[in-house]
């Protein structure tokens, strides 16, 4: 049985939906059936009607995952091989997205699908919330992630972000530098959009990433480190790391998942998603996310022929800037009478630290981070 087919096949990992262990399998199509052949247990072969499989969208993220009707999951990191196989196996027709094409056609159905994914994942995988949230985040179609990111950016434009005062030519130069740096890793996904914005003292020298690939850089960061392009590029690389690992989306899902599991009605899930931008403005990334983004920044600096040590100067200057701000705020608070004005000043002085905790300089460099870039 199996293995002796001439149909185009693909190696992938198979999860049975009960244990977290991956099994190596080979996939191919026979008429209207998907055949999943276990590589280790030659006698085990599963068959599913192609139409009942939830095929992945061709998203930009470097992973393909298909949901099987019995709760199993097929996955591969090699998106290119997956896409090639689909084209070869279907004579170029593609598999569509199966159920997904219909199900993800509206927000309401998306909500139902998400709840189903959450429920199945939570019930069958005995993983913690972060792992389930990550699974959900990976299942969210790129278009939805994009709309959450767009929406968050729109909200921030309203009260925090103002048009940049950096001259066009200089902005173009930064864009080119970063694009060239990113191009040194042609095999990694790099779907991002750079936005230059003036945030005055609110965010200070800073940068942050939103779902959908939006990376915002403040004028003050370029002013503080304009003479050290590698350090600025290191910050952008860190933000690109958040983009590549879908940290914004995963954070959003982690924050909403607990609420969802506690019984948010199905119809309400879309409003939970609509609240995602607010979550992004109030939550902060875990240390693991920051470590992962730092690791990506370091690798990108190295791959593009730069020294990760350029980040040390950045942390130093950010530290100086922060101390200066605190001193100023303390002075101002001392000369101010108690009351509303004082409260407002306190809120203002909290500034970068409290305003947008996912932003770069809102997570101060500790010894560990500095050592990481120093090595």
* Residue 366 CB contacts under 8 Å (≥ 6 apart), including other chains: none
Radius of gyration of the chain from Cα atoms? 23
Taking the C-alpha atoms of residue 98 and residue 291, their distance in angstroms, rounded to an integer, is 37
* H helix or E strand, kind and range, residue 89: helix 79-89
Distance between CA 107 and CA 111 in Å, rounded?
A: 6
Of 86 and 293, nearer to Zn ion (C-beta) is: 293
| Closest to Zn ion by CB, 48 or 178 | 178
Q: Which of 53, 300 has the CB closer to Zn ion?
A: 300
CB of 247 to Zn ion, least distance (A): 8
Minimum distance from CB of 62 to Zn ion (Å)? Answer: 20
- CB 207 → Zn ion: shortest distance, Å? 9
The residue number whose beta carbon is nearest to Zn ion equals 293
Q: Which token pair is 244?
A: 């590549």
| Residue 285 CB, nearest approach to Zn ion (Å) | 6
3-state helix/strand/coil string of 339-369: CHHHHHHHHHHHHHHHHCCCCHHHCCCCHHH
Q: Identify the three-state secondary structure at position 24.
A: strand
Measured CA to CA in angstroms, residue 48 lies from 33, 70, 80, 202 at distances of 5, 9, 23, 55
Return the number of the residue (166 or 293) whose C-beta is nearest Zn ion.
293
Nearer to Zn ion, 103 or 315 (CB): 315
Measured between alpha carbons, how far is 200 from 351 in angstroms, rounded to an integer?
10
Q: How far is the CB of 21 from Zn ion (least distance, A)?
A: 32
Total number of residues that touch Zn ion (CB under 5 A): 1
Residue 170 CB neighbours (<10 A): 13
Number of Cβ atoms within 10 Å of the Cβ of 306 = 20
Q: How far is the CB of 297 from Zn ion (least distance, A)?
A: 9
Which of 210, 169, 218 is CA-nearest to residue 193?
A: 210
Residues 62-101 that bind Zn ion (CB under 5 A): none
CB of residue 372 to Zn ion, shortest distance in Å:
13
Which residue number, 26 or 244, has a Cβ lying nearer to Zn ion?
A: 244
Name which of 86 and 240 has its Cβ closer to Zn ion. Answer: 240
Residues 293-322 that bind Zn ion (CB under 5 A): 293
- Interface with Zn ion in residues 208-267 (CB under 5 A): none
Which 256-295 residues touch Zn ion, going by CB under 5 A?
293
Please choose, from the candidates 243, 242, 261, the residue with its C-alpha nearest in 3D space to the C-alpha of residue 253: 261
Name the site residues for Zn ion (rule: CB under 5 A). 293
């Amino acid at each position: 049985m199996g293995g002796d087919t001439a149909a185009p096949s693909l190696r992938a990992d198979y999860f049975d939906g009960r244990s977290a262990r991956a099994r190596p399998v080979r996939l191919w199509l026979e008429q209207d059936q998907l055949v999943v052949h276990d590589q280790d247990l030659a006698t085990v072969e599963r068959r599913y009607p192609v139409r009942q499989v939830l095929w992945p969208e061709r998203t930009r993220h470097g992973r393909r995952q298909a949901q099987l009707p019995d709760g199993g999951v097929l996955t591969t990191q090699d998106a290119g091989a997956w896409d090639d196989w689909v084209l070869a196996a279907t004579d170029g027709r593609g598999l569509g997205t199966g159920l997904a094409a219909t199900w993800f056609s509206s927000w309401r159905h998306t909500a139902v699908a998400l709840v189903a994914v959450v429920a199945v994942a939570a019930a069958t995988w005995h993983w913690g919330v972060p792992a389930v949230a990550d699974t959900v985040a990976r299942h969210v179609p790129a278009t939805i992630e994009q709309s959450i990111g767009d929406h968050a950016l729109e909200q921030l434009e309203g009260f925090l972000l103002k048009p940049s005062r950096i001259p066009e030519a200089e902005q173009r130069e930064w864009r080119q530098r970063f694009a060239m740096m990113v191009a040194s890793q042609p095999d990694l996904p790099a779907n991002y959009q750079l936005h230059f914005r003036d945030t005055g003292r609110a965010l200070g020298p800073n940068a942050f990433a939103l779902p959908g690939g939006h990376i915002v850089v403040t004028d003050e960061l370029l002013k503080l480190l304009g003479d050290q392009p590698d350090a600025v590029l290191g910050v952008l690389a860190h933000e690109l790391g958040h983009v590549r690992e879908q940290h914004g989306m995963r954070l959003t899902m982690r924050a909403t998942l607990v609420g969802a599991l506690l019984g948010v009605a199905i119809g309400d899930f879309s409003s939970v998603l609509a609240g995602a931008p607010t979550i992004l403005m109030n939550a902060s990334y875990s240390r693991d996310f920051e470590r992962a983004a730092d690791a990506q920044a370091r690798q990108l600096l190295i791959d593009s022929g730069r020294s990760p040590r350029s980040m040390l100067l950045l942390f130093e200057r950010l530290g100086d800037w922060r101390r200066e701000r605190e001193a100023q705020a303390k002075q101002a608070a001392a000369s101010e009478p108690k009351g509303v004005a004082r409260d407002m000043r306190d809120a203002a002085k909290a500034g970068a630290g409290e305003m947008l905790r996912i932003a770069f300089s809102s997570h101060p460099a500790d010894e560990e981070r500095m050592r990481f870039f120093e090595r």
